[in-house]
Amino acid sequence: MTSATITADAAGSWKLGDLSVNRVGLGAMRLTGSAAFHHGTPSDRERSMAVLRKAIELGVNHIDTAAFYFSALRSANELINSALAPYADDLVIAAKVGPYRDYHGEWGTSARPDQLRGHVEENLRQLGRDHLDVVYLRRMRQDSIAEHFGALAELREAGLIRHLGVSAVEPRHLAEARAIAPVVCVQNRYAVDRPDPVDDEVLRLCGEQGIAFVPFYAVAGEAGAEGATTAHDAEVLAVARAHGASPTQVRIAWTLHQGPHVLAIPGTGNPDHLVENVAAGALRLTDDELARLNAARRHGG
């Protein structure tokens, strides 16, 4: 498929509360290095900022980031601020709080509810904003998220946050959060080669309730933080050949075909890969292709 002239609106749009976003966005995690966090080597600063500016040119208006997205030399939030401020009026930046990394990059214990304001304020400082459009609470194996989500709901009432989301949750956690404050999006791990009945149920519930479902590692698959997988199922490869597309584009297209409420946030620090990822929003899979991909997924990818 031809990628150069395809923009992010090709897949349509969805609303995060009152904020309209194109369904193909950008995950900022890979802007900081060749792999996430402390994996790989730090990125070239100018190249990463070029990716961000190119994303805006291509109509991307939804960027997913976090203060804990940093490598030895690069911070995703600082790159976003340097490349894109002053921000376009329609740009929606979503951040996550809950996990914690110290300045050496080591993972610490997850934040207590009373520490979440500090996490939000750190994102605000790094991004140069007075409020965050969307903040996800990333669940860190808590049995209940009520106290943590309640703390974020208070920050929403105080005007520091516009909309709330939850991440890495089961259906019961989503219900728990919705009883406290409106939830506009859920971010769970979800991919064509990673069957999980719990996440399938969360996806279904989000569709019923008008909540955006925003998968992470949809392209990376089982490789996770290490980067995009190169181990593609035979059906993914067959569909890619049929469309003259890459396996990555098929993975993104399959993600978007899971429902109009599903958003894609593929991450990259490569300008060419960015163009390819955005173009995947125009890839239309047939019912037969979807059935084959879904059957392969049910059998373990």
Closest to 116 (Cα-Cα) out of 132, 127, 103, 105: 132
Q: Taking a C-beta distance cutoff of 8 angstroms, is the pair 194, 166 a contact? A: no
Element at 293 (helix H, strand E): helix 287-298
Q: Give the tokens for residue 287.
A: 């019912």
Q: How far apart are CA 236 and CA 243, in angstroms?
A: 11
Q: How far apart are CA 51 and CA 59, in angstroms?
A: 13
Q: What is the DSSP string of 171-211?
A: HHHHHHHHTTS---EEE-B-BTTB--HHHHHHHHHHHHHT-
Q: Taking a C-beta distance cutoff of 8 angstroms, is the pair 171, 198 a contact? A: yes
Q: How far apart are CA 279 and CA 301, in angstroms?
A: 24
For tokens 């991004």, the residue is 127
Q: How far apart are CA 185 and CA 188, in angstroms?
A: 10
Catalytic residue annotation: 69
Q: How far apart are CA 8 and CA 93, in angstroms?
A: 16
Q: CA torsion angle for 217, 181, 15, 141 (degrees, to 10)?
A: 0
Query: In 10 A of CB 176, how many CB atoms?
Result: 18
